């Protein structure tokens, strides 16, 4: 260690020049750095090497980026790629499984369009039901038409396409049987609006990117949503049944909606009339787009599948009583009413 210099003696002080005005001389004392904190540059590359050491080799921008960020430099591109793939998959969508992810009710397997023949979604059983059957009872309510003309008028107007329609874009008309007066529930336009708005809802079939829907009022549609009288509904859906029901008749390409149910609803559904009409639209159009099989209640206390025959009950035992040889088991499971294919969509 270098010795600190001794302060000047008195004789030496006498020989120092005196500042102007007789002020005492200013003495210089080197700073004591022994008690100063040590410090170093945080970036030695920018500050350069210590004196006397050779200049380190300078790397390109990629090498400097890797040296600075380490493993993060490799992880960031991977995370970016995963994010892009997830986003693309969310936009394109995929075919829905038999049971929708997240515990939502399923709706069965999609059948090929070539299988659309005959009556699909006919009422359960063989039509021989007890006269006092409570399950299929029609509740009290407004008037409906017993018998119409057997011809249907197309509701004027159309819509833009809803849904991506990556595989199917369904063109449909909304029609009302001649002889039916719809004034009591808003007129023909209100019926069409209910159908259109139901299909446009993200909880409906347009949630699946494979499907798109567009209402037209001319040309050759893929199916016709036909609000029909009691007599025509029973004729189109297969046989003269003592309970009111709806169906899809693939031969006539009619989604047959019972006007009696449109007006009155169903006690077994337990929802309001608006929700029941949404259920009718989604259920019967579900048959028209390929979901031919009815579904049972899957989770006791959960939401009923939209392809369950909720007009006749939301518990399996009630439907199994009507159709003992059908797909619904008598297992005691009871669901809550649900008008949507994707109720959590």
pLDDT in tens, 196-212: 999 999 999 999 999 99
**Listed range (78-87, 228-237, 328-337) with the worst mean pLDDT:** 78-87
Q: Which two tokens stand for residue 257?
A: 């909606």
pLDDT at 66: 54
Close Cβ partners of 269 (under 8 Å, ≥ 6 residues apart): 275, 276, 279, 310, 311, 314, 337
Q: How many helices (DSSP H) and strands (DSSP E) are in the chain?
A: 9, 7
Q: Is 85 helix (H, G, I), strand (E, B) or coil?
A: helix
Identify the band that residue 116 occupies on the pLDDT scale cut at 50, 70 and 90: confident
Greater pLDDT, 132 or 94: 132
CATH class in words for 141-322: alpha beta
Does 284 have pLDDT greater than 50?
yes
What value does the mean pLDDT of the chain take? 78
Q: Domain limits of the chain?
A: 141-322
Axis crossing angle, helix 273-289 with helix 188-200, rounded to the nearest 10: 70
Q: Shortest CA distance to 169 belongs to which of 127, 218, 208, 203?
A: 208
Tell me if 222 sits within 8 A of 171, measured CB to CB. Answer: yes
The span from the CA of 232 to the CA of 148, in Å, is 7
Does 49 have pLDDT greater than 60?
no
Q: Shortest CA distance to 283 belongs to which of 225, 209, 214, 216?
A: 225
Question: Average of pLDDT values for 321-325?
Answer: 80
- The phi-psi region of residue 157 (left if phi > 0; otherwise alpha if psi is between -120 and 50; otherwise beta) is left
pLDDT at 47: 47
- The phi-psi region of residue 283 (left if phi > 0; otherwise alpha if psi is between -120 and 50; otherwise beta) is alpha
Does 19 have pLDDT greater than 80?
no
């Amino acid at each position: 260690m270098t010795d600190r210099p001794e302060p000047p003696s008195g004789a030496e002080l006498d020989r120092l020049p005196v500042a102007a005005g007789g002020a005492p001389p200013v003495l210089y004392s080197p700073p004591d750095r022994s008690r100063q904190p040590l410090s170093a540059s945080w970036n030695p590359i920018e500050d350069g090497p210590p004196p006397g050491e050779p200049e380190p080799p300078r790397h390109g921008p990629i090498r400097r980026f890797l040296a600075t960020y380490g493993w993060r430099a490799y992880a960031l591109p991977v995370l970016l790629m995963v994010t892009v793939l997830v986003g693309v998959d969310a936009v394109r969508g995929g075919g829905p499984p038999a049971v929708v992810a997240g515990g939502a009710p399923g709706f069965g397997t999609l059948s090929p369009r070539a299988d659309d023949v005959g009556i699909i979604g006919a009422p359960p059983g063989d039509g021989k039901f007890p006269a006092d059957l409570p399950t299929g009872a029609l509740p009290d309510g407004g008037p409906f038409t017993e018998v119409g003309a057997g011809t249907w008028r197309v509701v004027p107007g159309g819509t833009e396409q809803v849904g991506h329609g990556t595989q199917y874009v369904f063109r449909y008309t909304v029609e009302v049987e001649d002889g039916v007066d719809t004034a009591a529930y808003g007129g023909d336009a209100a019926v069409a609006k209910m159908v259109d708005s139901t299909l446009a809802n993200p909880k409906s079939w347009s949630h699946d990117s494979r499907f798109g829907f567009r209402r037209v009022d001319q040309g050759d549609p893929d199916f016709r949503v036909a609000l029909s009288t009691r007599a025509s509904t029973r004729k189109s859906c297969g046989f003269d049944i003592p309970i009111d029901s709806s169906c899809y008749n693939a031969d006539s390409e009619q989604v047959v909606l019972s006007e009696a149910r449109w007006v009155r609803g169903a006690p077994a559904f337990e929802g309001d009339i608006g929700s029941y009409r949404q259920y009718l639209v989604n259920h019967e159009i579900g048959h028209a787009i390929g979901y031919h099989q009815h579904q049972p209640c899957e989770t006791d206390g959960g939401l009923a599948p939209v392809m369950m025959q909720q007009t006749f009950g939301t518990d399996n035992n009630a439907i199994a009583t009507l159709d003992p040889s059908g797909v619904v088991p008598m297992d005691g499971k009871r669901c809550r009413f649900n008008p949507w294919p994707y109720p959590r969509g």
